[in-house]
């Protein structure tokens, strides 16, 4: 059933990609993928022109954020298709975000991201467990994470000491921490400075204030993409595709529901350990190679924890993550069937 649907889509696509002849195309230019819809992509050339383009068939993967070589049509045919050029090639990526996919195992959603802004808040309750899950997922991509505490206007005197202490622990192991309120505007200027010159994504649980923060930072975001993303023929892709948005004060934001749902899906235990950055000095020095870093004799992680080099909170969260990933693996094992 699904295979048939896929076949149909592919043959349908084949008819759409042959409407530009080489002789009608201009010189090669550098560009950036602003968004991708099926067999088309919106490309911004380095000259600042936004063009909807076809994609050469030999390009296997093309996502928002990709740096590309593009050729624009010399004469713009005012037809229904509005195809203005073709993406010829993709430059190597320095980073990518992906998520599990039913068909392909993993689906890449965006590329060339410089920093992952992990948004957390006071309400829903501040919790280091969730922050650590996002930190692990971010470290696994190799993209620099930054912690953003939103809704600082809601911090009560009772909650403040615990939150301050937790944030200081993150700073002491090397993470940048920002405190903002998208309601009062506190810290928003610093956020602009953080994002200037970089490509960022916001991730975090529902309700922490990602949308509010993006609106506070760039009230014109919708105007920038609203126009070109209307295309009846491309259906549902248009609502879920990642979009690259320029921030007026400098820097770019890549955003989509898929990007915001960035999460920790599955990693082997040794990779999780490596993603706890302050564990790295000790990894490989435990007595047993398959050390669980719990009650194992000669465990250097546990020794570092007991010596106060690793905090109790991070040590406990490491074990919680390992336990939850084990559970997930078992659940998946039981669910997996031929048509699942």
Ligand X SMILES: Nc1nc2c(ncn2[C@@H]2O[C@H](COP(=O)(O)OP(=O)(O)O)[C@@H](O)[C@H]2O)c(=O)[nH]1
Residues that bind ligand X (CB under 6 A): 150-151, 153-154, 181-183, 204, 206-212
The reply on whether position 41 binds Zn ion by CB under 5 A is no
Nearer to Mg ion, 176 or 211 (CB): 211
Contact in structure between 302 and 293 (CB atoms under 8 Å): yes
Q: Which does 181 bind (CB under 5 to 8 A by kind): Zn ion, ligand X, Mg ion, none?
A: ligand X
Please, what is the minimum distance in Å from the beta carbon of residue 130 to ligand X?
Answer: 12
The reply on whether position 286 binds Zn ion by CB under 5 A is yes
The reply on whether position 301 binds Zn ion by CB under 5 A is yes
- In 3D, which of 324, 335, 336 has the Cα closest to residue 267? 324
Q: Which does 153 bind (CB under 5 to 8 A by kind): ligand X, Zn ion, Mg ion, none?
A: ligand X
Contact in structure between 117 and 148 (CB atoms under 8 Å): yes
Please, what is the minimum distance in Å from the beta carbon of residue 134 to ligand X?
Answer: 13
Contacts (Cβ under 8 Å, ≥6 apart) of 154: 121, 122, 123
The reply on whether position 87 binds Zn ion by CB under 5 A is no
Q: Which does 150 bind (CB under 5 to 8 A by kind): ligand X, Zn ion, Mg ion, none?
A: ligand X
The reply on whether position 304 binds Zn ion by CB under 5 A is no
Please, what is the minimum distance in Å from the beta carbon of residue 212 to Mg ion?
Answer: 8
β-pairing, 144-150 vs 67-73, is unpaired
Q: Which does 208 bind (CB under 5 to 8 A by kind): Zn ion, Mg ion, ligand X, none?
A: ligand X
**From the list 52, 243, 260, 293, which residue makes contact with Zn ion (rule: CB under 5 A)?**
293
Nearer to Zn ion, 34 or 291 (CB): 291
Residue 64, beta-bridge partner list = 110
Contact in structure between 141 and 112 (CB atoms under 8 Å): no
Beta strands in 8-93 (DSSP E): 25-37, 40-45, 50-55, 67-73, 85-90
Phi-psi region of 176 (alpha: psi -120 to 50; beta: other; left: phi over 0): beta
User: For 167, which DSSP code?
Assistant: H
Please, what is the minimum distance in Å from the beta carbon of residue 252 to Mg ion?
Answer: 19
User: For 294, which DSSP code?
Assistant: S
Binding-site ranges for Mg ion (CB under 5 A)? 211
Q: Contact region for Zn ion (CB under 5 A) — 240-248, 281-289, 308-316, 322-330?
A: 281-289
Please, what is the minimum distance in Å from the beta carbon of residue 158 to ligand X?
Answer: 17
Please, what is the minimum distance in Å from the beta carbon of residue 190 to ligand X?
Answer: 14
| Number of residues counted as binding Zn ion (CB under 5 A) | 5
Contact in structure between 67 and 43 (CB atoms under 8 Å): no
The greatest distance separating any two alpha carbons of the chain, rounded to the nearest whole angstrom, comes to: 73
β-pairing, 144-150 vs 115-121, is parallel
Question: Which residue's Cβ lies closest to ligand X?
Answer: 209
φ, ψ of residue 53 in degrees (nearest 5):
-130, 155
Nearer to Zn ion, 23 or 295 (CB): 295
Please, what is the minimum distance in Å from the beta carbon of residue 131 to Zn ion?
Answer: 23
**From the list 130, 299, 310, 321, which residue makes contact with Zn ion (rule: CB under 5 A)?**
299
- In 3D, which of 172, 173, 190 has the Cα closest to residue 181? 190
Residues in the chain: 340
Which positions lie near Zn ion, rule CB under 5 A?
A: 286, 291, 293, 299, 301
């Amino acid at each position: 059933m699904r295979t048939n649907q896929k076949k149909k889509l592919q043959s349908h696509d084949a008819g759409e990609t042959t409407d530009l002849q080489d002789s009608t195309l201009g010189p090669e230019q550098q560009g950036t993928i602003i968004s991708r819809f099926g067999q088309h992509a919106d490309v911004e050339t380095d000259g600042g022109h936004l063009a909807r383009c076809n994609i050469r068939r030999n390009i296997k993967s093309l996502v928002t954020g990709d740096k590309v070589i593009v050729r624009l049509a010399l004469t713009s045919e005012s037809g229904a298709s509005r195809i203005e050029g073709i993406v010829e090639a993709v430059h190597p990526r320095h980073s990518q975000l992906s998520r599990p996919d039913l068909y392909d195992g993993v689906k890449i959603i965006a590329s060339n991201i410089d920093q992952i802004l992990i948004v957390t808040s006071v309400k829903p309750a501040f919790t280091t467990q969730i922050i650590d899950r996002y930190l692990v997922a971010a470290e696994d991509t190799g993209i620099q994470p930054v912690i953003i505490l939103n809704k600082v206007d809601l911090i009560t005197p009772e909650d403040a000491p615990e939150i301050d202490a937790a944030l200081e622990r993150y700073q002491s192991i090397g993470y940048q921490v920002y405190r903002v309120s998208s309601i009062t505007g506190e810290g928003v200027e610093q956020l602009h400075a953080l994002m200037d010159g970089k490509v960022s994504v916001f991730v975090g649980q529902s309700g922490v204030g990602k949308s509010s923060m993006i609106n506070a930072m760039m009230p014109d975001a919708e105007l920038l993409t609203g126009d070109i993303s209307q295309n009846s023929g491309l259906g549902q892709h248009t609502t879920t595709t990642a979009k690259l948005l320029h921030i007026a004060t400098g820097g770019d934001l890549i955003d989509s529901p898929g990007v915001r749902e960035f999460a920790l899906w599955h990693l082997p235990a040794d990779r999780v350990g490596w993603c706890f950055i302050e564990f790295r000095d000790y990894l490989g020095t435990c007595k047993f190679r398959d050390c669980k870093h719990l009650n194992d004799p000669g465990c250097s992680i546990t020794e570092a924890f007991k010596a106060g080099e690793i905090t109790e909170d991070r040590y406990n969260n490491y074990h919680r993550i390992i336990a939850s990933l084990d559970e997930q693996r078992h659940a998946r094992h039981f669910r997996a069937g031929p048509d699942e």
